[in-house]
């Protein structure tokens, strides 16, 4: 360990601007459609759900958007996040590759999610919003928005997928510690929730249902808005501070990545580390390979269809063009709850269509094996989601070994696994299975995709 | 939040030397006694349990001891640890006091414990030791030594108190992730464990029993040594990097503490933050008040006797003079498992006898209330142990408010609570009780203290 392992920026190097990849796209994003009319929507259509500042960020074509100073002040609690050289992992793999990782688990919520929860709460506070609703599965996003709400004095109501609500009471306890109210979804608090419970009283819930419930509350209450933890353009843009910092830290290490790896569920942590590098490439700079790693049990990028689809089960949220498994698709119950979503962020999907990124899928047990090796060699226990990025980086490093290449690999370690040790327990006990989704169900979900006008 | 909240040192300011308070004591520590002969022991008597470097540190009177460069290299993974100004908490309390806290939850194990686990593993590795044994209750120490063992390639066997082993499988999963073997204590792997199980087959275990088992394995195997996570002089000394960094960070904030607060179980995190400041006072510098906060259900400093006692139930470990509740005393099962020990570090006990520190005890529910207020205002969820320090700091800040004084308060936030959300769940559900120890049992335990020769 005689070489430098950690690259830490001084506090005044917290980025002052987010990077908006829309400014550099060779082809613009397809429009967003109204769930009722299926016509392209404008900013006003989103006003019931989001404050105007965030809507303008969603559609902005400006390359850089200033980070408000009060947001930077809160970022200071844990940013700049460290970037490490993974000497221990390299040695264990016997690879000539140089592996670097950005570590976002240093935030109070233990993941990258507060990078967007803080500005979202800030803009809502500024707009006079009293309450935010959101959905959460495993709980990372719900925790982060609860944390942000407590700092800004905004009430937060989290619709947590019933099965997670029952199985993971500890995540609920974190949200409650931050003063948030956590409701099991489907619930009796919304028309949509009641309609689901009427048909299926013991429904285990899903992210798509929880989104519908959170959206309904926001759409029908003047003082309440909705917040989403991934997928949307502005959410991905807030995460670009991860990549902007990493770029400067790689320069400190006197290196530039040949390959960048991130795990993808909705796409936000992947976008955070990758977009600034992709943008630099689009503007004439070096073009690293960009690899998105997704769970084989919920493979939207590798097996989904690039098509217009709803973001929620109740079809109240707008339609976007994305890689989707169909909004009625229910992924098996694997442990990386943050990656269990039927769709992929429109921006990430668009980049995939433009061949600017690659995608690969791995099963959960091989990802846990990768995470355990990482913990033993690097000291940090990754979240189950982050294990997918670790697995992707290891596979690239082993390829380098086979090919005798000393490439530079950079990946995003988006969170620690301290809240997820039940999954590691199950892994050690041999109780984890590599659930395969039902091919018939996927085919049916894909055949049920909505028809939209040709122009879109 | 316009003022600076975080004080972060550059990496080259990781201390180069630990501080040994023994050099500045107005009166030396009483000798350590052999558990068989009750006579003072020398370094050689400890050789079956510890490598000689650590034994020499245990008895050293040098003021400063160099931190080996390879240990500093590992410290770089998370150090220097940040120091924060608690503006949010100050505002919520309406206090004129300025509250600062040092945050040790940034380590991969989530607490201050790796500060000593790393050098202990390093010196053992240097001495050719193949295996380390230790005990753990809630699991913070077991996790940290497992982490250190994985980095240095030393096998680690952790005797975990049976009741924690059964109730907290997630902590065990962390240790196993780091490759350690975790054994429920009392076990069938030692003579002492077997003797306990023979009398009481369903024994729930205790820290004192687990220590005896770990010591027995180390004492009877040539390639195996024992490691302790608190209490001993060298362990407390390793933690002084916390206070040394804090001193420099307080200077960055242009402030010096009037009061320093830490929670005490065995005494290591308290010593870590307090000893460098106490030493500066002993050498003619300012003398802040130093407040040790302990759980009311296990009050060794406030209700224990200052006397020679065994560190373990099986009476295999040496005797030290300390504040003790008696080695047969079993504290009630409150949630701050890291503070459930019958004795207090000899150095901390000695400072209490010399009136260089104060002590106060609080019940767990008032400490959880303090922790929840802290999480809501500062964003970090503290470990149940750290909640005691938060409570102590809040009480000092409220005193300042009553007295109209703007004193500077510094406390050690020794770890995050991400592994301990079950305790927060119980707190929110109203299931936490303020267990009182049994006065009769305490009287009996104290009357059973060993008689030692007058000279000691």
Of A40, A245, A226, nearest in space to A121 by CA: A226
pLDDT at A242 exceeding the cut of 50: yes
pLDDT, residue A455, reads 54
- The stretch A133-160 carries a mean pLDDT of 95
B375 touches chain A (CB under 8 A): yes
pLDDT at A453 exceeding the cut of 90: no
What pLDDT digit, counting tens, does each position of A243-259 carry?
999 999 999 999 999 99
**To the nearest whole percent, how much of chain B has pLDDT over 70?**
99
Residues from chain A that touch B147, judged by Cβ atoms under 8 A, are 379
What pLDDT digit, counting tens, does each position of A288-341 carry?
999 999 999 999 999 999 999 999 989 988 999 999 999 888 888 777 777 888
pLDDT at A456 exceeding the cut of 60: no
What pLDDT digit, counting tens, does each position of A53-62 carry?
999 999 999 9
User: B260 lies in a domain?
Assistant: yes
pLDDT, residue A2, reads 41
3-state class of B98 per DSSP? Answer: strand
The two three-digit tokens of residue B452, written as one number: 């030692």
A196 to chain B, minimum CA–CA distance in Å?
A: 28
The two three-digit tokens of residue B16, written as one number: 């180069």
**Across chain A, what does the average pLDDT equal?**
94
Query: Please, what's the largest Cα pairwise distance for chain B?
Result: 64
pLDDT, residue B455, reads 54
- The stretch B105-125 carries a mean pLDDT of 97
Cβ distance A264 to A344 under 8 Å? yes
Q: Which residues span the domain enclosing B416?
A: 5-14+67-110+234-447
Cβ distance A241 to A65 under 8 Å? no
User: Are A379 and B151 a contacting pair at CB < 8 A?
Assistant: yes
Q: How confident is the model at residue A435 (pLDDT cuts 50, 70, 90)?
A: confident
pLDDT, residue B217, reads 97
Of A345, A327, A335, nearest in space to A366 by CA: A335
Q: How many helices (H) and strands (E) does chain A have?
A: 19, 15
pLDDT at B2 exceeding the cut of 70: no
What pLDDT digit, counting tens, does each position of B301-342 carry?
999 999 999 999 899 889 999 999 998 888 887 777 778 889
What pLDDT digit, counting tens, does each position of A83-109 carry?
999 999 999 999 999 999 999 999 999
- The stretch A357-378 carries a mean pLDDT of 97
User: B454 lies in a domain?
Assistant: no
* Among candidates A176, A177, A428 on the partner chain, residue whose Cβ is nearest the Cβ of B173: A428
3-state class of B360 per DSSP? Answer: strand
pLDDT, residue A335, reads 78
> What total number of domains does chain B contain?
1
Judging by beta carbons within 10 Å of its beta carbon (0-12, 13-18, 19+), is residue B214 exposed, middle or buried? Answer: buried
Cβ distance A339 to A385 under 8 Å? yes
A174 touches chain B (CB under 8 A): yes
pLDDT, residue B454, reads 64
The two three-digit tokens of residue B49, written as one number: 């349990």
pLDDT, residue B215, reads 96
- The stretch B204-220 carries a mean pLDDT of 93
**To the nearest whole percent, how much of chain B has pLDDT over 90?**
85
Going by C-beta distance under 8 Å and a sequence separation of 6 or more, which residues neighbour residue B366? Answer: B391
Query: Among A1-5, A278-282, A294-298, which is the least confidently predicted range?
Result: A1-5
User: A49 lies in a domain?
Assistant: no
pLDDT, residue A64, reads 98
- Quote the distance between the C-alpha of residue A191 and its chain's center: 28
pLDDT, residue A389, reads 98
CA dihedral A318, A54, A359, A421 (to 10 degrees): -100
Cβ distance A37 to A119 under 8 Å? no
User: A30 lies in a domain?
Assistant: no
pLDDT at A222 exceeding the cut of 80: yes
Tell me the C-alpha distance between A119 and B260, whole Å. Answer: 35
pLDDT at B456 exceeding the cut of 60: no
pLDDT, residue B305, reads 96
**To the nearest whole percent, how much of chain A has pLDDT over 90?**
85
CA geometry: angle B97, B101, B106, nearest 5 deg: 165
A347 to chain B, minimum CA–CA distance in Å?
A: 31
B289 to chain A, minimum CA–CA distance in Å?
A: 28
What pLDDT digit, counting tens, does each position of A378-390 carry?
999 999 999 999 9
User: B201 lies in a domain?
Assistant: no
pLDDT, residue B1, reads 37
User: Are A6 and B11 a contacting pair at CB < 8 A?
Assistant: yes
Q: How confident is the model at residue B353 (pLDDT cuts 50, 70, 90)?
A: very high
**To the nearest whole percent, how much of chain A has pLDDT over 70?**
99
Tell me the C-alpha distance between B420 and B429, whole Å. Answer: 15
User: Are B173 and A425 a contacting pair at CB < 8 A?
Assistant: yes
User: A354 lies in a domain?
Assistant: yes
* Among B residues 201-260, those touching chain A with beta carbons less than 8 Å apart: none
- The stretch A276-295 carries a mean pLDDT of 98
pLDDT, residue A337, reads 77
Long-range contacts of B426-429 (CB under 8 A, 24+ apart): B426/B335, B427/B365, B427/B368, B427/B372, B428/A173, B428/A176, B428/A177
pLDDT, residue A276, reads 98
Interface confidence, given as ipTM, is: 0.91
CATH code, domain with B78: 3.40.50.1100
Q: How many helices (H) and strands (E) does chain B have?
A: 19, 15
The two three-digit tokens of residue B431, written as one number: 């299931």
Which phi and psi (to 5°) does residue B33 adopt?
A: -110, 150
Tell me the C-alpha distance between B16 and B159, whole Å. Answer: 33
Tell me the C-alpha distance between A366 and B311, whole Å. Answer: 44
- Quote the distance between the C-alpha of residue A438 and its chain's center: 24
The two three-digit tokens of residue A316, written as one number: 């109240």
Residues from chain B that touch A10, judged by Cβ atoms under 8 A, are 8, 10
User: A440 lies in a domain?
Assistant: yes
Tell me the C-alpha distance between B283 and B24, whole Å. Answer: 7
pLDDT, residue B433, reads 87
* Among candidates A106, A110, A375 on the partner chain, residue whose Cβ is nearest the Cβ of B418: A110
CA atoms within 13 A on the CB side of A82: 23
User: A43 lies in a domain?
Assistant: no
The two three-digit tokens of residue B246, written as one number: 């804090």
Cβ distance A341 to A335 under 8 Å? no
């Amino acid at each position: 360990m005689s070489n430098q392992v950690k690259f830490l920026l001084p506090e005044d190097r917290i980025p002052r601007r987010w990077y908006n990849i829309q400014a550099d796209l060779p082809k613009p994003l397809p429009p967003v459609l109204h769930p009722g009319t299926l016509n392209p929507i404008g900013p006003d259509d989103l006003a019931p759900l989001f404050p105007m500042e965030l809507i303008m960020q969603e559609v902005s074509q400006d390359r850089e958007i200033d980070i408000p100073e009060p947001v930077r002040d809160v970022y200071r609690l844990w940013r700049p996040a460290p970037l490490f050289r993974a000497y221990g992992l390299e040695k264990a793999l016997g690879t000539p590759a140089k592996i670097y990782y950005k570590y976002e688990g240093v935030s109070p919520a233990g993941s990258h999610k507060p990078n967007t929860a803080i500005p979202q709460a800030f803009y809502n506070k500024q707009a006079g919003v009293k309450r935010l609703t959101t959905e959460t599965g495993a709980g990372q996003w719900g925790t982060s928005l609860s944390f942000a709400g407590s700092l800004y004095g905004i009430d937060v109501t989290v619709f947590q997928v019933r099965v997670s609500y029952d199985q993971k009471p500890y995540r609920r306890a974190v949200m409650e510690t931050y003063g948030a109210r956590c409701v099991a979804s489907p619930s009796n608090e919304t028309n949509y929730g009641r309609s689901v419970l009427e048909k299926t009283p013991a429904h285990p819930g899903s992210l798509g249902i929880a989104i519908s419930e959170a959206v309904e509350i926001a759409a029908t209450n003047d003082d309440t808005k909705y917040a989403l933890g991934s997928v949307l353009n502005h959410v991905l843009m807030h995460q670009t501070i991860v990549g902007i910092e990493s770029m400067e830290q790689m320069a400190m290490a006197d290196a530039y990545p040949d390959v960048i790896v991130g795990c993808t569920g909705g796409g936000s942590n992947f976008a955070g580390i990758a977009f600034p590098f992709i943008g630099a490439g689009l503007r004439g700079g070096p073009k690293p390979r960009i690899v998105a790693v997704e769970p084989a049990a919920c493979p939207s990028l590798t097996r989904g269809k690039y098509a217009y689809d709803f973001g929620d089960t109740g079809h109240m949220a707008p339609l976007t063009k994305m890689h989707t498994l169909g909004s009625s698709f229910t992924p098996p119950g694997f442990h990386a709850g943050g990656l269990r979503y039927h769709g992929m962020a429109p921006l990430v999907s668009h980049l995939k269509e433009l061949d600017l990124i690659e995608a690969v899928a791995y099963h959960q047990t091989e990802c846990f094996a990768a995470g355990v090796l990482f913990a033993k060699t690097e000291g940090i226990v990754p979240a189950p989601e982050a294990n997918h990025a670790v697995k992707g980086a290891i596979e690239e490093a082993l390829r380098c070994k086979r090919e005798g290449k000393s490439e530079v690999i950079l990946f995003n370690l988006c969170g620690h696994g301290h809240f997820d040790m039940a999954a590691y327990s199950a892994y050690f006990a041999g109780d984890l299975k590599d659930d395969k989704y039902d091919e018939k169900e996927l085919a049916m979900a894909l055949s049920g995709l909505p028809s939209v006008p040709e122009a879109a």
